Amino acid sequence: MDVQDIVNTVSQKADLDQATTEKVVGTIFSVLEHEAEGTSASSFFAKIPGADALAQKYDVMAAASAGGGGLLSSLQGALGGVLGEKAGALVNGVAALKASGLDMAQIQKAGATLIQQAEAAAGPDLTNEVLGSVPSLKSHLGIS
- How do residues 49-86 score in pLDDT, each as one tens digit? 999 999 999 999 885 554 444 445 445 444 444 444 55
Q: Is the pLDDT of residue 100 over 90?
A: no
d(CA 138, CA 131): 7
77 or 92, greater pLDDT: 92
Q: Is 49 left (phi over 0), alpha (psi -120 to 50) or beta?
A: beta
pLDDT digits (tens, 9 = 90+) for 22-31: 999 999 999 9
* pTM score: 0.83
**Cβ–Cβ < 8 Å for 32, 44:** yes
Average confidence (pLDDT) over 109-124: 95
Q: Is the pLDDT of residue 118 over 60?
A: yes
d(CA 40, CA 17): 31
d(CA 57, CA 52): 9
Q: Can you give the pLDDT at residue 38?
A: 78
What percent of the chain has pLDDT above 90? 56
Number of residues that this document lists for the chain? 144
Q: Can you give the pLDDT at residue 133?
A: 86
Work out the mean pLDDT of the chain and round it to a whole number.
84
